[in-house]
Chains A and B, each alone.
Chain A
Amino acid sequence: MSWMGGWFDPELEDLFQDEPELIETAKQVRASRPRVEADPRFQNRLRAQLVAEASRGRGARGVRRWWRLGPAGFAWGGGLLGAALITATVLTFVSNSPKDQTVTAFSQLTAQHSVSPNQVITVSFNQPMKKTVVENGVHIQPAVKVAFSWKNNDLVISPVYHLSANTPYTVTIAKTYLVAASGASAAAPINITFATEPTATPQPVSPPSLTPVVLGSNGTGGSLLYTPDGGSVVSTVGVIPESATTPPSPTATPTPPASATATPEGSFSGAPSVPGALVEFSTSGPAAQIGPLPSAVAFSPNGRYLAMAVDDGNGGSQIITSQSDGSAPDKLIDSPTPVTALTWASNDRIIYTDGTNIDSVDLSHTTSTLYTLASGSGVITSLATGGAYAYISPATGTGGSLLNISSGAEQVLHGATTDVAFSGNGATVAWVDNSAQPGRLFTEPVTENTPDALSMPDSNASPSDVALDMRGDEITYLSTDSTSGLTQLVVAQLPSGTPLAVTSISNASELTLSPGGDHVAFVSNSSAGASVEQAPVPGAPKHQVGPRIPDAANATLQGFVQAQVGQSGQPDLDTLAALSAPGVNAASNTPPDLSRAYVISTSLEPAGVVEASIELIVDPDAGHTATRVASEQVLIAESSGSYLVTSATIFPLRNESAGPHVVQVTPITADGVTTLLVTFDSDLNQKTVAGAITVENQAGVILNSTAVYDPDTRTATVTLANAPSGTLTLEIATSLADVEGQSLENGFQTTFQAGS
């Protein structure tokens, strides 16, 4: 047995028993092994990252590749933050040849603190230069496609698509390209560093007005609904010019008249006796009659079928289904009582009510009674889409109840209820409480008894004519001021109530929102008759995928990052402390001398935690000529009614790599199409964009997508026609290149939530 300098390894002694020189070498190797302890800051930081990641349930799969990757996700544009600290090099060169005139140059950007993105870059030389040679040596990082011009001895570099806002730039001209017309050469390359000003902070402004267009004429009363794709408005009492009354398609059954009677075979006969029928109005084509005047109508969940209840002439209703364009009508059932509301429970089953009973009928004509309201208990006036809930207006008094149809349980809606509306997915109910004046607007999930009063722009006004969009995150209503009598049509976000559009209007009714909330339609009544009108909703053309980030959380995030950047390189310690939960020591971990920051992504995680990816930036200066970047991951959670930063993981500063960088990823959805807007800091080589961008599902399968690059905004629009719900991953390969041929240094990857 041998002890090797106090160390004994019987396995090695056995292995080298006949080779003592190897024992000696082993002793030498072991004695010289590194004795190093990890930096405790690194150890603690990594632990925090891991635990935070594990807490979000990503241990099994899908851990974001934080290391060496840029942050990602939905963006709150990075342009709102940070005062730019900009340095620009004063350029002074001395010719190598004593017989040549001393060459000097300067940039107009010198010592500026904030450069307009529309600014041109001028480099002024003190003598004529070899223009083409100099131009060939210009290199700008991030890459910018530019045009050159000369004004005397000044080189004017004009970005083709303007500079990016809130971005540090470095303009270099290599020494070998700095050649004067006289042949003088420079002693050093030109190196100009500057940064652009942040995008102006949006100021509170009055919500924009609507600009309605008339789609067509309407009869009296009736209601409106959108086709499932949001492309057309359907009126139950629409009127079309006589010449335009044509069958909806070559194969369709002849268009039924307004008071048509369905034959037992399910086709229509007879002539219109009153104006008005089920008419589809579109901005892209002529109005088309798709059915008779119904008392109730609904599209199936898949959008392929239409169900309508029409007067059977005997005091009851026929429930008729057809293709969505009205063709191939088929009578399902003849209800002895008039049907006042109907909806589709599934693509083959319809639920309807006559005000007292709730029944169902499927496409095989099988019926069943789901619920019967006790006599004198009120009237069932509306059904939620999907048929899980219904609204019962009271027989007397001011209350009203939400009925769970399957269980029979009733939940009284707050106040004196009128104008009840359900979202298109049946999950949210809105109503007006007129128990006091002015009336108030409430919303709540149908499964919860948690009424939420909506803030209205005019606190003296009463709401009416309420409608919700498909997902219940947008509402429209009429707001009538009790003092002035002024009526406004309001479209607002839910749950915040923030108006998206407000328009003074008179004699409007039957408000309805498109499924995506990007259009609002209504009936405008005048002495000349009624018309169906439609207007796009400004500011709400599309919807963010996934749950909305709470406004309060977003405010905390903005305030926190602004405080990190602070002023003159000094963070706002008081604000950081105020916005941080106990134990979050963001002040000590925030890199010094920050110039700006980008919030590249925010996403709402389970349990309401908001996760944000941020890049903290130190502009170049004389002491460090490269832009430095630190990636940061922040978690924000609600605490005692306010949102605080509960975790701030900050990676060490690194020199920003050459080549393009992703600065913003915004997932949006509209009308079932998911779109990602991926914005870069560089002008890209368009040919490299589509091939570099892919989207995968959770199984790693690449989804069909298209990517179109807009050089003006430096944004690639990635469109997924049929994105599955759940977590998807955006990947950008290093084959992506800028206009200077520089590739994305590291593959970029981020996850986002898709689906409704």
Chain B
Amino acid sequence: MTLPRAYEDQLVERAKQDADAFGELYDHYFGQIYRFIFSRLRDQEAAEDVTSEVFFKALRAIGRYKPSGHPFSAWLYQISVNAINDHYRSRKPTSSLDSAIAVADPARPVDDRVVDSAEAARVWAAIDDLPPQQRAAMTLKLGEDMKLAQIGEILGKSEGAVKLLIHRGMIGVRLRLGVVVAVEEQS
């Protein structure tokens, strides 16, 4: 659910001085930010760490925030993307493609496969293996159902560039999933 823009702008302004207003922003955006971060990290402890980092950074910087015509959430996602990248730089991913290979079953229909959590992990492990920008664009589009323009705002890219990232990301996922299938078929 999106806050009415005028109300959100007022709320952000109040949040620069008013702790309760910041709490209201937190209440509204916590779920999607946490979900986005978790979808990238898939580790509860790490997701909680990074989510905390994101909101504390937001609190620290909100005094300098100026509305840019984009939703406030875009700013939070920007912080999140950076925090996730920092996390990846400091730690290895918590799961790997290798761990998912053994449980893949390409013969099953897609709709059946997705209910299998291992299959879900395998698919998103393929996304994890993408270059950072493709990974972020794919997560925001397919994990958060964002518009291309909004993704561009978060990543600092044009809409066309985001399209390119998603297109390449999608091909990359297919390739990675295809390689897995090939390995399993050989075995």
Contact = CB atoms under 8 A, between A and B. Distances in A.
B136 interface: no
A22 B170 contact: yes
Contact of B30 (A12, A43, A65, A67): A43
Contacts of B107: none
A53 B30 contact: no
Contacts of B174: 21-22, 25
B72 interface: no
Given A15-B166, A51-B19, A67-B49, A22 B171 contact: yes
A269 interface: no
A34 B39 contact: yes
B35 A42 contact: no
Contacts of A42: 48
B157 interface: no
Contact of A29 (B16, B55, B59, B142): B142
Interface in B42-78: 42, 44, 47-49, 51-53, 55-56, 59-60, 62-64
Contacts of A46: 26, 30, 48, 51-52, 55
B56 A67 contact: yes
B135 to A, nearest CB: 12
B171 A34 contact: no
Interface string A48-73: 01111111001111110111100000
Interface stretch (B1-9, B119-127, B179-187): B119-127
Contacts of B17: 59
A26 B142 contact: yes
A49 B63 CA distance: 18
B123 A61 contact: no
B22 A30 contact: no
Contact of B56 (A11, A31, A43, A63): A63
Interface in A1-59: 5, 9, 11-12, 15-16, 21-22, 24-34, 36-39, 42-43, 46-47, 49-55, 58-59
Nearest to B148: A11
B138 interface: yes
B59 A63 contact: yes
Given A21-B174, A29-B123, A61-B63, A38 B56 contact: no
A15 B15 CA distance: 38
Given A25-B173, A30-B142, A61-B60, A51 B124 contact: no
A25 B170 contact: yes
Contact of B27 (A31, A32, A47): A47
Nearest to A38: B34
Contacts of B51: 38, 46
A446 B64 CA distance: 40
Contacts of B34: 38, 43
Contacts of A66: 52, 56
Contact of A33 (B23, B110, B142, B147): B142
A68 to B, nearest CB: 8
A32 B123 contact: yes
Q: What DSSP secondary structure best describes chain B's contact surface?
A: helix
Contacts of A16: 167, 170
Contacts of A37: 31
Given A15-B163, A67-B56, A34 B20 contact: no
Contacts of B62: 59-60
Nearest to B48: A42
Given A22-B170, A29-B173, A46-B51, A59 B142 contact: no
B167 A50 contact: no
Contacts of A28: 110, 113-114, 123
Contact of B124 (A33, A50, A65): A33
A214 B141 CA distance: 83
A11 B31 CA distance: 24
A36 B142 contact: no
Given A25-B174, A59-B22, A32 B52 contact: no
Nearest to A46: B52
B63 A15 contact: no
A50 B39 contact: no
Nearest to A5: B111
Nearest to B164: A15
A21 B183 CA distance: 20
Nearest to A31: B114
The residue among A5, A22, A31, A34 with the most chain B CB atoms within 10 A of its own CB is: A34
Contact of A53 (B16, B38, B56, B111): B56
A51 B23 contact: yes
Interface string A64-85: 0111100000000000000000
B50 to A, nearest CB: 10
A419 B59 CA distance: 52
A22 B143 CA distance: 16
A51 B143 CA distance: 29
Interface of A: 5, 9, 11-12, 15-16, 21-22, 24-34, 36-39, 42-43, 46-47, 49-55, 58-63, 65-68
27 contacts: A11-B147, A24-B110, A25-B173, A25-B174, A30-B143, A32-B124, A33-B142, A34-B35, A34-B120, A34-B143, A38-B35, A39-B44, A42-B48, A46-B51, A47-B23, A50-B19, A50-B22, A50-B59, A51-B20, A51-B22, A54-B22, A59-B15, A59-B16, A59-B17, A59-B60, A62-B60, A67-B52
Closest 8 CB pairs of A and B: A60-B63, A54-B19, A32-B120, A31-B114, A55-B19, A32-B123, A63-B60, A38-B34
